[in-house]
A and B are shown apart, each in its own frame.
Chain A
């Protein structure tokens, strides 16, 4: 029976072979009863060999072997052979037994090399084959984790900033925090969340200014792609403050100070800086500013006026946090790129003070770092009051007015051709509209009258033009 147990381990052989092995062993004991199986024995072994390996899973075969073994032990010998006979006749009825006469077969056909067929991946019940999918899902989970962590960090930073600045703001502004939707102008006392990385705060109700919009522009910590990109190129969180002023709060000047890179960038980008501060950014050595900063100014008097000792003190102490400071009475935002022509009107300007500060930490900020920005807010408040008091002297005012007139003239010249065209098209449109009206007029009499009126008007215009030409000619002479 030990041999029988060994046979269980084979994959390819059907149970029929094992039965006949049983028969073989038993035949040794009793020739008469089992002699008939000796011949038949060879055929099934051959036929089983020539069959292709069975499709069903290998695990099913040992189970069947067990069952067969059990029946062999329990049942009577004769019953077993009857079963075997029936099985043989059932399975191998299609095979001609005579065909394989004399075919020598080795006792252990299952010692030949086994050809393992590859089971297709989707039929394998193993998770390992799905490793790409598992990778993908893991990546997604990592992204979601980073989103939650980044969002919370940004939120904590914003809250920390607000907590450290709240007192200062509330003592200076009547309205701290407004989202513009509520009916009454009451302080909401909290930041507006525009995004997962941008927070707004609107403050209003103070002397010397209309209002102040503070934007906390944090890094996109909630986006994993951005986090990875920042590992290559570190950037920092920024606080942008925009103070809008009433007309009487500020005299006419344009001025900017900040890091060299920022100044050269702003000079190219900003409409007012490019028009009024034509010279390259100058160093602030005259006011003993650090070398990293440079100044753009409309005229020297403005620089002298703005850079008083207190301002210089503020800027020198926090030079690393200052990206740019921009005071302008002609602020209209960055230059608008026009496709073909230029805008027909001068862009609207507003008296504005702009401050851009870098949060220390270069991306690895903690809520504690927000306290270091409070002195900068003090500087902002000080600037608001200062700008109100800063007035140009007579010369400076003349220069400033001339500058503005010059800019306007240039603009008008550049757009002259366009405005002419626009005026022409408008005139043509009017004529066409009139003609249409005349045509649509049903009454023939009225038609005639309108036509005559139009003709008379044209005549008058021609006469006027001729008069003008004559006048010019006379003047020229």
Chain B
């Protein structure tokens, strides 16, 4: 129930366009998760590739998935794809070099 039920409160002449809030002014309000996960994913995949650790490569794949799920729509898809590809290549390379199955840590 609008207050002015008789008169129409709409004013087409007083329309303001939508301005997306600038992120520079409020960096604290942004969720840092996708950026952290991206970074972690890259670090783990580099570890997995260099040190030939299979579990690092798998964690990198998980990290890039999590980063993708939390990403904003304005974010670059190229970044996402590159981190995906890097983590998948880390997994593939680990298995090509050493086809043995991964042993559990216990």
A binds B: yes
A: which residues have CB within 8 A of B?
A: 120-122, 129-133, 136, 139-140, 143-144, 147, 168, 171-175, 178-180, 185, 193-196, 202, 204-208, 210-211, 213, 220, 222-225, 333-334, 337, 378, 381-382, 385-386
> What is the CA–CA distance of A220 and B16 in the complex, to the nearest angstrom?
31
- Of the four ranges (under 10, 10 to 19, 20 to 34, 35 or more), the interface on chain B belongs to 35 or more
* Chain A positions within 8 Å of B14 at CB level: 174, 204-207, 210
> What is the CA–CA distance of A334 and B15 in the complex, to the nearest angstrom?
27
**In the assembled complex, B78 has its CB within 8 A of some CB on chain A:** no
B: which residues have CB within 8 A of A?
A: 1-4, 8-20, 25-26, 28-29, 58, 61-62, 65-66, 69-74, 99-104
> What is the CA–CA distance of A467 and B71 in the complex, to the nearest angstrom?
64
> What is the CA–CA distance of A210 and B65 in the complex, to the nearest angstrom?
40
* Chain B positions within 8 Å of A381 at CB level: 2-3
The answer on a CB contact under 8 Å between A171 and B15 is: no
The answer on a CB contact under 8 Å between B9 and A172 is: yes
> What is the CA–CA distance of A168 and B26 in the complex, to the nearest angstrom?
31
Given contacts A121-B101, A211-B18, A222-B69, 15 further A-B contacts (CB under 8 A): A131-B101, A132-B101, A132-B103, A144-B65, A174-B10, A174-B11, A205-B15, A206-B11, A211-B16, A223-B70, A333-B26, A378-B1, A378-B2, A385-B2, A385-B4
Q: Which of B8, B20, B72 makes the CB contact (< 8 A) with A195?
A: B72
> What is the CA–CA distance of A139 and B101 in the complex, to the nearest angstrom?
17
> What is the CA–CA distance of A410 and B12 in the complex, to the nearest angstrom?
42
> What is the CA–CA distance of A175 and B12 in the complex, to the nearest angstrom?
7
The answer on a CB contact under 8 Å between A185 and B11 is: no
* Chain A positions within 8 Å of B101 at CB level: 121-122, 129-133
The answer on a CB contact under 8 Å between B15 and A175 is: yes
* Chain B positions within 8 Å of A120 at CB level: 100
The answer on a CB contact under 8 Å between B10 and A205 is: yes
Q: List 10 A-B contacts (CB under 8 A).
A: A168-B2, A172-B10, A178-B17, A180-B17, A195-B71, A195-B72, A204-B14, A206-B10, A207-B9, A210-B16
